[in-house]
Amino acid sequence: MDFGGYGSAILVLCVTCLILLFMWSENSKQKKLPPGPTPLPFLGNMLQLNMKELPKSLIKLAKVYGDVFTVYLGPRRVVIIHGCDAVKEALIDNAHVFSERGKFPAIQILFKNFGIILSNGERWKQLRRFALTTLRNFGMGKKSLEEKIQEEAGYLKDEFSKTKGQPCDPTYFLTLAVSNMICSIVFGERFEYEDKKFLALLALIKDTFAAINSRTGQLLNSFPQILQKLPGPHQRVYRNIKALKSFVQEKVKEHQETFDPNCARDFIDCFLVKMTEEKGNPDTEFHFDNMFVSVLNLFFAGTETTSSTLRHGLRMLLKYPDIQAKVQKEIDVVIGQDRSPSLEDRSKMPYTEAVIHEIHRYSDIVPLGLPHAAYETTNFRGHTIPKDTTVFPLLTSVLKDPKYFKNPARFDPEHFLNKKGEFEKNEAFLPFSAGRRICLGEGMARMEIFLFLTFILQNFNLETDENPSDIDITPLPYKIRFVPRL
């Protein structure tokens, strides 16, 4: 008798029974959880999901399990909220429950729970309130910031003019221009486009985003304790953050050497003022760790998302030259060629406003949204969501909700125009999320995108060597010709 084979069969049978027992035990304990695919021990639903295109995988699951469902990313339980109605019900109607920041292990390994984006409780309240006040004091939504954007648009025009209508990748031009806006608020200065330190800093940010969004970066969120010790592209994140921290430390040192508490020049100075005021408070939230991470929060959020939206927008206007022509016609009528675009023009330019909203919608820059968490065990749409459960409001499902957009898969400015051609708001327009955790830089981002885009189209025709009908609107690099308008 083959006892070796017999023993192997018994082992396989025992392991199978243990797996089935585990799954039965988990299911029996979680009958009231939102439904979802059956997870495997340790791996969860990882084998059933395309981690490279996670948002698309989750949208497919929503068709099977509904607008509220559960998946396991490794051992981590995650509730997905799908569609405009469900997301707004969670983030707005139940804001007190779903305004906690969920765990983001890949980032929290680096930043702990410091800063504005990753923190909760009193720390988050104090830092967010401070950041909003400081951003407003330094121009967000005001004429002073508008003038800075107009000035930067002039520098951007000069850079595009240097290309002399030859094909170029617009990525770095746009990133430099947008980044200078947040730099002027955070560091109190703008950088020249040839500044090597500035270029290296932006390269670090772009590389960090790429590493976090890579497949191994996604796995790092599911298995942080294991993956952080293994080699792979995600390891670049740690090196990059160390370099970024050195840059911020250098800037803080420069500020401390010329610091005048009676004349705050920027965000760092304002933070130093608060640190001085609360020096004797052992529980203060105004210390270097929170300053460093808050500065990076503002820098990351104020650079990558806005510049990516502009880059996608230019690509869409290449694909649809008729839409580009209509926007330029409206610019010529309302603004002309003798002055720079201003925010006051926006209300007189319904078609341009509709196109910009559609660029936001279609670009879908943060499709998953940032993770939220249940503050307490709650009943949501007939399901029990336990305290501390990670919750993802699937923003891509809001921006492409067929209930609110007649052609969600198409780039169509008509989504934001009524029958009279007037601009019309759409309640599913939530690219900046919603509720208490809505992006605090939304006002600044919308100012930049309107002013930069209209300035570019006022001065240049966007052309390409590709056939517009063959253009694939994806986040891949592309070449564009900036041809001066006569």
**236-253 per-position pLDDT tens digit:** 887 888 888 888 889 999
Q: Domain tally for the chain?
A: 1
Is residue 461 assigned to a domain? no
What CA–CA distance (Å, rounded) separates 280 from 276?
Answer: 9
Helices (H) and strands (E) in the chain, counts: 18, 9
Is residue 423 assigned to a domain? no
Is residue 386 assigned to a domain? yes
Tokens of 52: 């490279």
pLDDT of residue 160: 97
Is residue 41 assigned to a domain? yes
Q: How far is CA 161 from the centre of its chain?
A: 30
pLDDT of residue 302: 83
pLDDT digits (tens, 9 = 90+) for 89-118: 999 999 999 999 998 877 777 788 899 999
pLDDT of residue 9: 52
pLDDT of residue 13: 55
Is residue 387 assigned to a domain? yes
Q: What is the DSSP string of 81-147?
A: EESHHHHHIIIIITHHHH-EEPP-HHHHHHHTT-TTTS--HHHHHHHHHHHHHHHHHTTTTSHHHHH
Is residue 380 assigned to a domain? yes
CB atoms within 10 A of CB 330: 20
pLDDT digits (tens, 9 = 90+) for 16-45: 545 544 544 444 345 589 999 999 998 999
Work out the mean pLDDT of the chain and round it to a whole number: 89
Cβ contact 454:328 at 8 Å: no
What CA–CA distance (Å, rounded) separates 267 from 182?
Answer: 10
- Residue for token pair 């695919």: 37
What CA–CA distance (Å, rounded) separates 165 from 57?
Answer: 41
Q: How far is CA 214 from the centre of its chain?
A: 15
CATH, residue 381: 3.30.43.20
pLDDT of residue 10: 59
Dmax over Cα atoms in the chain, in whole Å? 96
Is residue 60 assigned to a domain? yes
Q: Which domain holds residue 379?
A: 25-104+366-399
Q: What torsion, rounded to 10 degrees, do the Cα atoms 52, 303, 479, 159 define?
A: -170
Which residues in the chain come in under a pLDDT of 70? 1-31, 141
Is residue 73 assigned to a domain? yes
